Structure 1
Amino acid sequence: MNHDPRQAPVAHDHVSRRTFLQWSAVASASSLLPSLAGAEPSTNSSNVTAEGWVKELHDSLSSDQQKAICFPFDHSLRKKVANNWAIVKTEVADLKPAQREIVDHILRGICSEEGYEKFQKQMEEDSGGLDYYHPAIFGKPGASKFEFVLTGRHNTMRADGNSVEGAAFGGPIFYGHDADGFHEKPHHPGNVFWYQAERANEVFGALDPKQRDKALLGRAPRENDIAFRNANYPGLAVSEMSSDQKDLVKQVMADLLSPYRKQDADEVMELITANGGLDKIHLAYYSQDSQGNNGDIGDDGVWDIWRLEGPGFVWHYRGKPHVHVYVNIADVDKIVAAT
């Protein structure tokens, strides 16, 4: 990657659960936003989507601010995803007060109501809050393709208004949390994303011995190994599960998508269908981490590392030593999202 003076050095990381109601309607949340004092949008704030707020932010930037955080749409940084990095040196705290509130609006807009609360808690505990994350805009909102990207410790989040055709979330994303310290204890007390692993372990508990033999593997792939493959997906295929077991997998999907706004959750489901459906996805659990060390915190058979993978779909959950999750979902016929 070419050096860009706006890019800070990359660093490496050394409320109730929504009940699943139906497969086609997971993560029910509105993208209409309440007003926040201090911002003065050009339109009624109750009708502004996340992408509308991105345009408000872009339009409010001074020429110096644009030089610091704005890029052409096809810039290589737009496609990057990592667990802990600054896409630009500028932090939200460096913006004007009204602009900082607009960034908060954007965050609200790309999350469900419960997801916004979870990410607020995660950001506060991991970095001191949203002010210490890094915003960037690619392209020109309202005039051409564009995408907003927010990065920092345990986050790569996006809002693209479907500018990136065929890619869920506008490209690969990352989320994570270490509420109980870098080396979390069994069951990850206080971790806002551990409920997803608990749900995935409910599926494992429902498998018969032969299915468990297929689903439980040894050494996990690297967490950021989320490039699409054409075949040989690890673990047990959903097509080999009973209807009751498939219902549990659907609940896992609902929990994975619950932090995000409905339109992004719906797009994920549409892409799964376009790529062959849920039956094409495999579920794998790992007894070892990517270095070959014991991956089961507490040796309790509650698997901390697991992965859903199929055509155009990778959702890698690494729970040791704390939660890291890499996601890449796209229409395989368009090959849009890239790691």
Structure 2
Amino acid sequence: MPNPTPQNLTPIVSRRKFLEAASVTAISASLAPSLFAAPSRSSKAETAVQEFYTSLTDQQKSQICFPYNHQLRSKISANWHVTKPTIGLDFYTDKQRAMINNAIKGMTSQEGYARLQKQMDEDDGGVDFYSVAVFGDPSEKKFEFTLTGRHLTMRADGNSAEKAAFGGPIVYGHSEENPDQNLYHYQTKQTNKVFEALDTDQRKKALIGKAPRETAVHIQQADGNFPGLIVGDMSDDQKKLVTESLDVLLAPYREEDKAEVQEVLKSIGGTDKLRMAFYQQGDLKSDKVWDIWRIEAPGFVWHFRGAPHVHAYINIAAIS
């Protein structure tokens, strides 16, 4: 499958366009209802998934299709295959591979798709070496399409898991250990702008010695334990940097998923309820650009481990 990617993906957009986009996102996040709905059966990715499922033979379904509540649907890992057949095998037809590609395009923004293609190429030889599964029947009430492989777990579910952004926990990463060449180090540089803007007392609250396990991303309720500095205690200028950082983190994904993240944030009281933590552990160049950081609140976890290379685990879902 061809993987057309830009030669240089950073910076993502010009500063002017970035500020314009950040302003639009900040405005849309303050409106109710959102300008975009959560993913539905008619979303681009889900439409491709339904077409893909319909095309499968009984023999194919026996190997890559499972009941909706199968235990594999809840698994997250930085390196795993949800099913044995990889996309490039003769197990799939060219038309089915094109449907899979359309589903991936539907789950991402244009920039996110290009970056993802480059990550898969560099980490494991391309999308042909990744695997997919379908949980449930897309023609019925609940279903999920899952894409997995080296440094990747992505989902499309037509909002089957209600109030869960991205269809559930997702993972992304990149094996490049030189931070200046890692495809996702730009996110660390962006979030560290928040740390650089903090005063001495704020930094003491935000900077922590040892990081939690990267897989510790279970959803916590309002009475949970949340490390770091609460965004609500920041100045307006600092809060603006947090909003800009969230926009950068969400930029690789489709509008429907970004809108659902904003809805979850609104349900817990907005970005003021988030906490930001930066970890001294894993400071790759001893330059105090903190390569491990975490954004967390009730119903929200974004854990980024950039040492020695990137593993990022995200779990965002409205709390009960």
What range describes the TM-score normalised by the shorter chain of this pair? 0.7 to 0.9
Q: What does 1:87-166 correspond to in 2, within 5 Å?
A: 87-94=82-89, 95-166=92-163
Equivalent position of 2:44 in the other structure: 49
Aligned equivalents of 2:194 and 2:43: distance in 1?
A: 39
Aligned length: 292
Instruction: List 4+ stretches of structure 1 deviating above 2 A.
Output: 15-18, 228-232
Q: What does 1:48-67 correspond to in 2, within 5 Å?
A: 49-67=44-62
CA deviations over 1:126-184 (Å, ceiling 9, x no partner): 011111100000011122211000000000000000011111111100000023xxxx2
Deviation, structure 1 residue 315: 0.2
Equivalent position of 1:208 in the other structure: 199
CA deviations over 1:30-62 (Å, ceiling 9, x no partner): x9xxxxxxxxxxxxxxx9710000011000011
SS in 2 for 1:141: coil
Normalised to the residue count of structure 1, the TM-score between the two structures is 0.83
Deviation, structure 1 residue 301: 0.5
Equivalent position of 1:23 in the other structure: 26
* Counterpart AA for 1:227: H
The match for 1:73 among 68, 74, 78 is 68
**Ranges in structure 1 where 5+ consecutive residues have no aligned partner:** 1-14, 32-46, 289-294, 334-339
Distance change in 2, residues 1:311/1:107 (3 Å): same
- Is the contact made by 1:87 and 1:151 (CA closer than 8 Å) also made in structure 2? yes
* Counterpart AA for 1:148: F
SS in 2 for 1:115: helix
Deviation, structure 1 residue 228: 2.3
Q: What does 1:282-321 correspond to in 2, within 5 Å?
A: 282-288=275-281, 295-321=282-308
SS in 1 for 2:122: helix
Tell whether 2:77 aligns with 1:82.
yes
The match for 2:211 among 206, 217, 220 is 220
- Is the contact made by 2:278 and 2:294 (CA closer than 8 Å) also made in structure 1? yes
Between the aligned residues of both structures, percent identity stands at 49
- Is the contact made by 1:275 and 1:311 (CA closer than 8 Å) also made in structure 2? yes
Aligned equivalents of 2:267 and 2:27: distance in 1?
A: 13
- Is the contact made by 2:43 and 2:158 (CA closer than 8 Å) also made in structure 1? no
Q: CA RMSD in A?
A: 1.9
CA deviations over 1:269-327 (Å, ceiling 9, x no partner): 11011022111110000001xxxxxx100100100000000010000000001011000
SS in 1 for 2:252: coil
- Is the contact made by 2:219 and 2:317 (CA closer than 8 Å) also made in structure 1? no
Aligned equivalents of 1:156 and 1:25: distance in 2?
A: 28
Equivalent position of 2:4 in the other structure: none
- Is the contact made by 1:24 and 1:269 (CA closer than 8 Å) also made in structure 2? no
SS in 2 for 1:164: coil
CA deviations over 1:239-285 (Å, ceiling 9, x no partner): 11000000000011001100000000010011011022111110000
Tell whether 2:268 aligns with 1:281.
no
Higher share of residues assigned helix: 2
Normalised to the residue count of structure 2, the TM-score between the two structures is 0.88
Equivalent position of 1:332 in the other structure: 319
- Is the contact made by 1:276 and 1:311 (CA closer than 8 Å) also made in structure 2? no
SS in 2 for 1:195: helix
Deviation, structure 1 residue 192: 1.7
* Counterpart AA for 1:331: A
The match for 2:180 among 181, 189, 207 is 189
CA deviations over 1:178-228 (Å, ceiling 9, x no partner): 23xxxx23xx12222111110001011100000000000000000000012
